[in-house]
Amino acid sequence: MLKRSPHDVVVIGAGVVGAACAYYASRAGLRVAVVDRGPVAGGTTGAGEGNLLVSDKEPGPELDLALLSTRLWRELAGSLGEAVEYEPKGGLVVAAAPAGLDALREFAAGQRKAGVEAVEVGPDGLPELEPHLAPGLAGGFLYPQDAQVQPALAAAHLLRASGADRYLGETVRGLLTGPDGAVAGVVTDRRELSAPAVVNAAGTWGGAVARLAGVELPVMPRRGFVLVTEPLPRIVRHKVYAADYVADVASGSADLQSSAVVEGTPAGPVLIGASRERVGFDRRLDPVVLHRLAAQAAALFPVLRQVAVQRAYRGFRPYLPDHLPAIGADPRVPGLVHACGHEGAGIGLAPATGLLIAEQLTGARPSLDLTPFRADRFPPSAPDAGLE
């Protein structure tokens, strides 16, 4: 073993959530170490589209978290905006039929009461916002608060700005504990890092980290694919998705679900999603899913039928059964703090998560009630994904 390195907190995970935890903990005056078995953004973060969304969230704890993060991302954009490709471009949710538009209207009414900006757009107004949209759509809703970042850059710059000590390429093999059983640091395959608090920001592997402390956290991988087109002029101005995407996000089904999600990027390529399925950590590319995503995107933007797809990639969303992340101290194990299980919203929810963790670590008044995010809210018999 190498020499012990004293810190106030060790963060397991160098994705965007772990980086945000390190950033806000450091700003609160804590000495932070970050450890990851791979590189920065080597897991779910690196496979994300960078969505910062309020449009797909119904009123409740997750939307509260998203609204707080929206404000924090705007603050971060003041110093990191260009470096992380922050774009406050807004989201546009469209409905093909009047019944779908009615459902969006009802959904938006509830969101407005919670503080979301949602502007109804009639069929005649859609071409002004997105000239290349398919004709004949019933209408949609514009969400000016939606934005986007480049996720790997966001994680890297947050981590760099934190000033945290970084131990990359080191796998956490166990947790240090004190005489009272409290977590007191981590053991990697190269060293021990002692600290009175350990933050589990391990994403899809959050359940495995929890088991190192002897507790259950039923994090399960939910696979998704993204298509990347050749570089193009900015033919898609907003993040645009079909109304059924909202239902897919809220679903707990293990079966394959897909709905058109299309957005441009500053670099030129158009990103096309989104699919969801629980197949463990199966990393194989599925041509059936890829063809379905391409067809759904072309139905929404016919101009894409003539565009080449350059590549496709996949990632695993860290899914918890009630669609809420685990945030805060684990009441079952002193010293263990969770910041994982954000499913596909981790990039958007990262700043609020990091701030809430820092507030709890320092005893500050929390910006939000953490009760809905307690790690012990699941029954002991809940399934666990395991480390594969």
User: With 90 as the cut, is the pLDDT of residue 5 above it?
Assistant: no
Q: Are residues 161 and 303 in the same domain?
A: no
Which stretch of 58-67, 137-146, 152-161, 243-252 has the lowest confidence by average pLDDT?
Answer: 243-252
Write the pLDDT tens digit of every residue in 163-201.
999 999 999 999 999 999 999 999 999 999 999 999 999
Q: What is the mean pLDDT of the chain?
A: 93
Which stretch of 39-53, 253-267, 374-388 has the lowest confidence by average pLDDT?
Answer: 374-388
CA distances from 15 to 42, 201, 224, 342 (A): 7, 8, 17, 12
Residue ending a domain, choose from 263, 284, 319 = 319
Q: Are residues 104 and 132 in the same domain?
A: yes
Q: Are residues 281 and 234 in the same domain?
A: yes
Confidence of residue 6 (pLDDT cuts 50, 70, 90): confident
**More confident: 117 or 79:** 117
Write the pLDDT tens digit of every residue in 97-108.
999 999 999 999
User: With 60 as the cut, is the pLDDT of residue 250 above it?
Assistant: no
CATH number at residue 345: 3.50.50.60
Share of residues in the chain with pLDDT > 90 (%): 84
Write the pLDDT tens digit of every residue in 123-140.
999 999 999 999 999 999
User: With 80 as the cut, is the pLDDT of residue 266 above it?
Assistant: yes
Q: Are residues 333 and 191 in the same domain?
A: yes
pLDDT at 368: 98
pLDDT at 82: 87
Q: Are residues 307 and 230 in the same domain?
A: yes
Q: Are residues 309 and 331 in the same domain?
A: no
Confidence of residue 245 (pLDDT cuts 50, 70, 90): low
Write the pLDDT tens digit of every residue in 300-344.
999 999 999 999 999 999 999 999 999 999 999 999 999 999 999
Confidence of residue 276 (pLDDT cuts 50, 70, 90): confident
pLDDT at 385: 40
Residue range of the domain that includes 115? 89-144+220-319
Number of independent structural domains in the chain: 2
User: With 80 as the cut, is the pLDDT of residue 384 above it?
Assistant: no
Residue ending a domain, choose from 270, 298, 319 = 319
